Structure 1
């Protein structure tokens, strides 16, 4: 019985023709009988399947075609290709990292002081308690440290947090003004914590005045112990702040103040749903020089 190739929308299938239909040798098209075909039933008599619906069409497709059509996902947007198959996966987009000039400058100063102290990254990591990977990222300006990490770095380098932030020792003056727009500011991009240095940075200064802004439900993170004899005065001016050490927890409302010696690990928390602000007066021992005043 002659056969002929009939094209379909997805693949070429072969069908069996009845005896009174022959294939055209020129183009493969069938020769229909001379008897006119006036109804769908006439096609059925010739053995040509009658298709009334999509279900009838599926019955006459090869089984592998039915399976493939049923399982191939419909892709309407680029996002639909994620996870469909390896060859359909959406190409990965390249992440663009923007350099923060403040982090870059901070990292440059850390590296400069570390090299002046003849410390390797490994030695620096052991002294500060900060991982080598984190220190490397900080020095390259790729990572902005938290206040706790920055304090540990300052202690290991025997310098002040303010020096790491970019202010150098200025000559001692009897009268010094710090304008609002001249304040040294440290921001933790992860938590939103802000530290404002209100006092001038001068040689031999043993006191720093600092303002902290702590967003709702956040913490400064644990701050390392300061050198023996260093103390902090805390004055809450907005909201409620909790001052914690390993063994104590003190809640300060607006107008409350606290004095404590900071030769132990400590931290500040805002457990409320509103921002809190508090001032710190940090006093270092008189014998503790500017190069290693340990303030933060």
Structure 2
């Protein structure tokens, strides 16, 4: 299915239909979930009717997605080298680079942790949030209230972070890793 990017109503409707068919739900099931009539949903999907902001938000909620996923036209988003947000902690020397944020619930970061350095304590994230670590170079110890995890170059770990946590590079070399944060 291709999305018509020239007409906003048709684009929204096609995106709704695509998402609904991916989820395997009928118009009636979506109508029950989002509180918008099946007849109106059908007209939205065919691009015959413009949704109000209220209805568009209800439809997105019913499809378990962000409204931006139904209205954004860009199918590809490129962040060029040097355009990333960079955060540098002068106290620890830890550098964090924001690589991508494909949705409000997912963020991808790259960290550079100097030798013999410990991060500050990170507060607990919302329930169900996970951090997926992938070690590019070096070694890292990750500490939570329940676990202590050691990772080396090439290792990965998926960690529940709905608790306080921190990481530490105990080695004499720099540690570089990528982390994807998936909100619960």
If the TM-score is normalised by the length of the shorter chain, which range does it land in?
0.5 to 0.7
Question: 1:253-292 counterparts in 2 under 5 A?
Answer: 253-285=152-184
User: Aligned residue pairs: how many?
Assistant: 114
Measured in 2, the distance between the counterparts of 1:261 and 1:222 equals 15
Deviation, structure 1 residue 190: 1.1
2:79 to 158, 178, 203: 178
1:199 to 97, 100, 111: 100
Q: Could you say which structure has the larger radius of gyration?
A: 1
8 A contact 2:118–2:166 mirrored in 1: yes
Deviation, structure 1 residue 191: 1.2
What's 2:135 paired with? 236
Q: Deviation digits for residues 24-77 of structure 1, max 9, x if unmatched?
A: xxxxxxxxxxxxxxxxxxxxxxxxxxxxxxxxxxxxxxxxxxxxxxxxxxxxxx
More strand per residue: 1 or 2? 2
TM-score (norm: length of structure 2): 0.58
8 A contact 2:144–2:161 mirrored in 1: no
Deviation, structure 1 residue 245: 1.0
Deviation, structure 1 residue 247: 2.9
The answer as to 2:118 corresponding to 1:222 is: no
Measured in 2, the distance between the counterparts of 1:191 and 1:206 equals 27
TM-score (norm: length of structure 1): 0.37
Structure of greater relative contact order (alpha carbons < 8 Å, 6+ residues apart)? 2
